Structure 1
Amino acid sequence: MVKVLLPAQLEIRLGRIDQIFQTLDPSPFRERGLDPDAAAYIIGWARDQNRRVPLEIHLNTQDSGPERDAPEDVTAAIHCYFEDRAQGAWHDLRELFRFGRVDLAIGILILILGLFGAEYLVIRFGERPLFSLIAESLIILGWVANWRPLEIFLYEWRPIRRDAKLFRRLATARIKVKGGLRASAVAPFRQQKPLADQPDSG
């Protein structure tokens, strides 16, 4: 039996639908950025969802009218915002790997020079304390020079890739609008709580 995963749904309560966007952004509507608090609220919610389920964002407003798909320009603006964030994250990831490769090449060169330098000092001066200390310091320096590239390739790239994939999911989320919200139900984004959704098990 195939298990059907229902969409994860986020409800956002607004006085007007344009309150989800930056009010001072002079860009055309479809290119307008999201309000920073709204974007943080949506991203925080999306991180908690199962990565295999589709996402839906419901904009509940005081305007009258039944639940429906959001107007095309609203959907396009939200999708474009998160697509831009996704492309920015992928760009950051490519840049991180580029710097990592350069740092790794430098680190390996320093390590090789340190190992040869340490071996030369041992052969040339034997076990004299001062030169033994210098030899050990050269080896340590070589390994320390590789700490940063190793950190990049083992750990640092993972959260950037995770965010890029998350933004791409949000860039394809279904956006719906529902009117008839009471004025007393409208609240700042920081005070709104997401509906109970399917937790991330992946």
Structure 2
Amino acid sequence: MSHASTAAPTGRIELKLQKASQLFHTLDPSPFRESDLAREAEEYIVNWALELPKTVPIEIVIHLPWDEFSQSSASDIAGAIKGYFAHKADAMSSEMRELFKTGRLAALVALIVLSFCLVSAWLIGSTLKEGPLSQILQESFVIFGWVAIWHPSNIFLYSWPPLARRRKLLRRLAQATVTVDGDAPNPA
């Protein structure tokens, strides 16, 4: 694979391949339109897309030797790349839905635990005489209650934004213009 174009405003990512099969997972028996991209090809495209300005459309250009190039396979390759990234974006949406479902359940459990701990700390403070044991128990319940809400807080504050950014990038790649061209044959 070659390098991406340095003209960042165009949003162009270029790959120079020896064979079209370099793009796809070699153990996947599916036709191009349904094949998974090779891990290296996906990483290459995604890493270059991350470097591009977020406001420009992305163009992916695949250069193949003339003997590997044909119009029918070019449209199959373009469709496979766009379809692959669309599928990955949909999978990311599912992952985010599952994360929020987990977060809602964790928040419910955490609020119950926090409520129990705060009431327990209050009961200990009002029933036991003032002293180190009473204070240790009260503080322990309060700390445990606040620790219980850490996980849902983490989900709703920090875990989903990276997934949303990744999904947005994958959607941009699914909407990219994909061009496959054949390098002119060398004269003999």
Q: TM-score range by the shorter chain?
A: 0.7 to 0.9
In 2, Cα distance between equivalents of 1:69 and 1:57: 18
Aligned partner letter, 1:150: S
- Quote the residue 2:51 is aligned against: 48
Determine if contact 1:55/1:173 at 8 Å carries over to the other structure: yes
Give the equivalent residue in structure 2 for 1:80. 83
Which residue is equivalent to 1:170? 173
Report the counterpart of residue 136 of structure 1 in structure 2: 139
CA distance in 1, matches of 2:11, 2:140: 55
Q: For residue 4 of structure 2, what is the aligned residue in structure 1?
A: none
Q: 1:169 to 1:10 in 2, by over 3 A?
A: same
Q: Quick one: higher RCO (CA 8 Å, sep 6+), 1 or 2?
A: 1
Long gaps (5+) in structure 2: 1-7
Partner residue in 1 for 2:151: 148
Q: How many residues align?
A: 178
- Partner Cα separation in structure 2 for residue 180 and residue 53 of structure 1: 27
3-state SS in 2 of match to 1:61: strand
For 2:28, the equivalent position in structure 1 comes to 25
Q: Secondary structure at the match of 2:65?
A: coil
**Residue in 2 that maps onto 1:37:** 40
Among all aligned residue pairs of Structure 1 and Structure 2, give the percentage whose two residues are the same amino acid.
Answer: 37
Q: Is the 8 A contact 2:78 2:180 kept in 1?
A: no
Call closer, same or farther: CA 1:91–1:75 in 2, change over 3 Å. Answer: same
TM-score normalised by the chain length of structure 1? 0.81
Structure 2 counterpart SS, 1:179 = strand
TM-aligned CA deviation for residue 177 of structure 1? 2.0
> Is the alpha carbon distance of 1:181 and 1:166 closer, same or farther for their aligned partners in structure 2, counting shifts above 3 Å?
farther
After superposition, the CA RMSD in angstroms is 2.3
**2:19 and 2:68 in contact (8 A); partners too:** no
TM norm structure 2: 0.87
Which ranges of structure 1 fall in alignment gaps of 5 or more residues?
A: 184-202
